[in-house]
Chain A
Amino acid sequence: GAVVSQHPSWVICKSGTSVKIECRSLDFQATTMFWYRQFPKQSLMLMATSNEGSKATYEQGVEKDKFLINHASLTLSTLTVTSAHPEDSSFYICSATTIYRGGGELFFGEGSRLTVL
């Protein structure tokens, strides 16, 4: 099946620094990618939807200047957590979809665990 790769799998950073997480679709072109965050024992919370070549659409309550999303190509989207603080520590997951594979099948990455000290 289709594969979505996230990198890094985990990252530890100091408060105030910025962290970039990559999401790549390895064997298909992803017209749309989604970014989620997940707190322990909770379900995924959609943060934003990004379409290749256009600005991301953020969900209500998600700061777009805090969580910068770039979807520069059909196989890569990046999430940058700017000036990270301990409350940004979370599990970040991306998913990718393409309308060309029959109805927008969703493929999830393995997630990236961010710990801000």
Chain B
Amino acid sequence: KNQVEQSPQSLIILEGKNCTLQCNYTVSPFSNLRWYKQDTGRGPVSLTIMTFSENTKSNGRYTATLDADTKQSSLHITASQLSDSASYICVVIRDSWGKLQFGAGTQVVVTP
């Protein structure tokens, strides 16, 4: 069964601290994996897109990793800011035509 599981479900961190979000998947065939940030009441915004051959990709303070062998990905947020408070969604694209498998998301709250 094609599944995407994210952990933790929610996370509270202090401003300035780092955190790591996890995404495990069983989706096959695998095309690519994406991380999105969704602010409350807004549409998701792309952070990173990673294909099978990519291990790490950064976008500012966001760094995603991918281990295609173990089917695990992580999103690391460095020096968190209050504006990082959002839901982070892992999406695995199942084939080149874009069949989507969504994770449930990790709700991150950054406190002063």
Contacts and interface: CB of A to CB of B under 8 A. Distances in A.
Interface of A: 4, 6, 32, 34, 41-46, 91, 93, 95, 97, 99, 103-111, 113
Given A44-B44, A93-B43, A111-B43, A103 B51 contact: yes
A43 B43 contact: no
Interface stretch (B57-65, B69-77, B101-109): B101-109
A104 B93 contact: yes
Nearest first, the 7 closest Cβ-Cβ pairs linking A and B are A108-B43, A104-B98, A43-B105, A110-B43, A43-B104, A108-B44, A111-B43
Contact of B102 (A43, A104, A110, A113): A43
A41 B106 CA distance: 10
B105 to A, nearest CB: 4
Interface string B72-106: 00000000000000010101010011101011110
Contacts of A109: 43
